[in-house]
Amino acid sequence: MTLLRTTTTEPRPDEQLEALTLAVAADLPVLLWGEPGIGKTAVLTQLATSLDLPLTTVIASVHEPSDFSGLPIVGDDPAVQGVPMAPPQWAVELVRAGRGLLFLDELSTATPAVQAALLRVVLERRVGALHLPPGVRIVAAANPRASAADGWELSPPLANRFVHLYWVHDREVVVRGLGGVWPRAELPRLEPERLPEAVAFARRAVCGFLQARPTLIHRLPSTETRRGGAWPSPRSWETALTLLAFATAACVSQDVLALLVRGAVGDGPGLELLAHLDRMDLPDPESLLADPVSAELPVRGDLRQAALEAVVAAVGARPERERWEAGWAVLVRALETGAPDLLVAPAKALAALRRDDWDVPDAVERLAAVVGLARRADRSVERAAASADAGRATGTRR
């Protein structure tokens, strides 16, 4: 048995583990969703060992609400002293240690009354009369209601306090772990000099997005199941802002950031915020129009297309001959530095902005061949597709 339980760890890229570790480092409550036997408890045990934190496991479903809100203890003079709420032993031990990882397991099997009692524990970190120290981190685990033992849906107030991460197994991680080597969780390395910039970026990103999409500030889902997951509210947007700041300072990958943001505010709003972050990196169209010869356009195709469309939109917002000609110069710069097929739509839109008394600039001549070639290629593809459809139709009749 000792030999079977003897394992080692290794640093290994793992997006799920990296997202979990960063959320824990940000001191945010995390809820791991996954089917039974997927390894949620093992991950938390290994995480506590890697971070050198004592692990305290509390099975929420086997406790009464008073175990979290505190047991009333009558003193010598309750009329004067009041009735204090005595905390359970596990909370006292956490306070005594000053640090630790509080693991609330089987959360989806806790009754609504117990879930209500957990609200103060998760948000205010209070258990009875005790206040959990800052060194305590909170992580919970739950099974979907369909696979939970006598499961309940999470109440919306409790669900909205967590970062929801959906845990799935990785075949290589499982096989290598059963062979004796599991991935090791490491705290994200934050660069101190980047912290002010990261916080400013996160605030600018979230506030700018919500100004453009005010209906997403608070949107309670219509179904009970979705209310028990991640959804947007002022509280969860604050969580997303914190995660974005930490992720920026730690230079995490886009995939890890996506897991965290979607886990805070839900899939739809999270994906919209990620798209907004991409657009924030676009160059200012006015700067491109001011100096089109040395304009630096994004390399990625979709961002380059968006930048060119923004230039055309800027010209359309203030249509002047000099700005219109500068727009053509930007398109020429794009032709010199990237794929020509991205220029067809912006060139057509820019041409439609021409006034009768504006001469056609020389730049248009350089783009005419490209636009014409792209149109011919499109027509060739359409003809080939029509021919293939006709051939299939003839074969079917035969």
Give bridge partners of residue 8 from the DSSP assignment. Answer: 181
- Structural domain ending residue among the three candidates 280, 308, 326: 280
Tokens 């039974």 belong to residue:
36
Model pLDDT, residue 250 = 92
Model pLDDT, residue 234 = 96
DSSP, res 142: E
Give percent of the chain with pLDDT exceeding 90: 34
Per-residue pLDDT, averaged over 143-168, amounts to: 82
Model pLDDT, residue 189 = 85
Model pLDDT, residue 376 = 46
Q: Are residues 87 and 200 in the same domain?
A: no
Give percent of the chain with pLDDT exceeding 70: 88
Q: Distance (Å, rounded) from C-alpha 354 to C-alpha 349?
A: 10
- pTM of the shown model: 0.74
Model pLDDT, residue 373 = 45
DSSP, res 98: S
pLDDT band at 212 (very low <50, low <70, confident <90, very high): confident
Model pLDDT, residue 303 = 81
The mean pLDDT value of the chain amounts to 84
Q: Are residues 21 and 62 in the same domain?
A: yes
Q: Are residues 196 and 137 in the same domain?
A: no
Which residues have CB under 8 Å from 11's CB, separation 6+? 183, 184, 186
**Crossing angle (nearest 10°) for helices 254-265 and 15-25:** 60
- Structural domain ending residue among the three candidates 257, 280, 303: 280
Is residue 381 scored above 50 in pLDDT?
no
Q: Are residues 53 and 173 in the same domain?
A: yes
Model pLDDT, residue 380 = 42
Q: Are residues 68 and 151 in the same domain?
A: yes
pLDDT band at 397 (very low <50, low <70, confident <90, very high): low
Of the candidates 49, 35, 155, the one whose C-alpha atom is nearest the C-alpha of residue 103 is 49
Q: Domain containing 354: what range?
A: 285-397
- Structural domain ending residue among the three candidates 138, 167, 186: 186
pLDDT digits (tens, 9 = 90+) for 110-145: 888 899 889 989 988 988 888 999 999 999 998 886
Q: Distance (Å, rounded) from C-alpha 12 to C-alpha 357?
A: 64
pLDDT digits (tens, 9 = 90+) for 78-104: 666 677 778 888 899 999 999 999 999
Q: Are residues 228 and 348 in the same domain?
A: no
Which residues have CB under 8 Å from 305's CB, separation 6+? 342, 345, 346
Lowest mean pLDDT segment, chosen from 130-144, 187-201, 222-236, 331-345? 331-345
Is residue 57 scored above 60 in pLDDT?
yes
Q: Residue 145 class from Cβ within 10 Å (0-12 exposed, 13-18 middle, 19+ buried)? A: middle
Number of domains, the chain? 3
Q: Are residues 164 and 64 in the same domain?
A: yes
Q: Are residues 140 and 162 in the same domain?
A: yes
Query: Which of 71-85, 186-200, 211-225, 247-261 has maximum average pLDDT?
Result: 247-261
pLDDT band at 256 (very low <50, low <70, confident <90, very high): very high
pLDDT band at 272 (very low <50, low <70, confident <90, very high): very high
pLDDT digits (tens, 9 = 90+) for 287-304: 899 998 888 888 888 788
Q: Are residues 173 and 28 in the same domain?
A: yes
Q: Are residues 217 and 176 in the same domain?
A: no
Q: Are residues 90 and 170 in the same domain?
A: yes
Q: Are residues 130 and 223 in the same domain?
A: no
